[in-house]
Amino acid sequence: MKLFRRSLLASVAALSVLATVPAQAQTVTLRLHQFLPSQAVIPSMAIVPWAQKVEAESGGRIKIQLFHSMSMGGSPPQLFDQARDGVADITWTVLGYTPGRFNKAEVFELPFMCSGGALKCSRAFHEYVEKHAADEFRSVKLLAAHTHGPGLFHTKQPVTGLESLRGMKVRGGSRVVNNMLTKLGATPVGMPVPAVTEALSKGVIDGTTIPWEVAPSLKITELVKNHTTFAGQDGLYSQTFAFSMNRATYDKLPADLKQVIDNNSGVETAALFGRAMDEGDRIGRESAVKAGNNIVALDAAETQRWRRTASTVEADWVAEMKGKNIDGARLVSEARALVRQHSK
């Protein structure tokens, strides 16, 4: 009995000490979940550096636990909701994986919208979201919204003009991109990017639309030998991404740790991801050159043909948004103005 009393008193004393620990001394572990392998560009060049910076600036009181390649379960289209619902504390994903949900944000996926690379376009996109699409992200704490670099074709047979694309089964990463592929004469096959490697190797698709950045981690330069780029600084298309935090997790943080998260959110965090994308594009293109692959550079006249054909995608989108009481034409104008501003 005496031993029991001593143990009870010791437990009460320990709990009393813990109760007096100030909120400022609290530590927290945040689970960060995303769909690419750890060696891919965004995990290695953006997510890991971001996590290390947050840990350092918090004095070690925030720990970031990284879960790559969907290792917490689920599928890439479920990642945004995993952040919303608290399945994970932070997620990174492609917005186009949940079609019809981020209507206003879709404008940056329209053909030939982005110019000057991912860094500049990511700054423009994050600013656009803050000004015109914040309501689409109110269920989470948005850390950053960004884009990838110029989108292009990676195909088994060379794409040297519009005619050679016709009938090809080509992977698209969003409904806007798939509509563009249809207008250009291809047969779109929608799938998240982690599925591309197997789809190419099994002949499910003849090619894929992705930026150079993700090609090495998907072994694209081994599976196809042809890559088609476009004249000028504009990519054929871009896709949009969200780096999001569970709102309740953020709200529970002490004020000083909230400030650490705030200091690592916003347009400069979007720029971190864009900068990584641009560096990844450089590395990806170099890997194709090193492999001796065929890089087709369409000239200005041929690129203009693609622009004219793809322009109907924008008209479709504006008409669809009108049906949802969204002024799509105004959003296109606002998006292009921000892209021009950040591309100077």
Domains of the chain by residue range: 28-100+118-147+239-280, 152-237+290-343
DSSP string, 199-238: HHHTTS-SEEEE-GGGTGGGTHHHH--EEEE-SSSB-S--
CATH number for the domain formed by residue range(s) 28-100+118-147+239-280: 3.40.190.170
d(CA 85, CA 323): 30
Q: Encode the chain (344 residues) as per-residue pLDDT tens digits.
A: 443 444 444 444 444 433 444 545 789 999 999 999 999 999 999 999 999 999 999 999 999 999 999 999 999 999 999 999 999 999 999 999 999 999 999 999 999 999 889 999 999 999 999 999 999 999 999 999 999 999 999 999 999 999 999 999 999 999 999 999 999 999 999 999 999 999 999 999 999 999 999 999 999 999 999 999 999 888 899 999 999 999 999 999 999 999 999 999 999 999 999 999 999 999 999 999 999 999 999 999 999 999 999 999 999 999 999 999 999 999 999 999 999 999 88
CB atoms within 10 A of CB 156: 14
Considering the entire predicted model, what is its pTM? 0.91
Q: Residue 11 has which token pair?
A: 């437990």
d(CA 180, CA 110): 8
Q: Are the C-beta atoms of residues 224 and 139 closer than 8 Å to each other?
A: no
Q: Which CATH superfamily is 152-237+290-343 part of?
A: Bacterial extracellular solute-binding protein, family 7 (3.40.190.170)
Q: Are the C-beta atoms of residues 141 and 161 closer than 8 Å to each other?
A: no
Q: How many CA atoms lie within 13 A of 124 on its CB side?
A: 31
Residue 60 Ramachandran class (φ > 0 left, ψ -120 to 50 alpha, else beta)? left
Q: Are the C-beta atoms of residues 279 and 119 closer than 8 Å to each other?
A: no
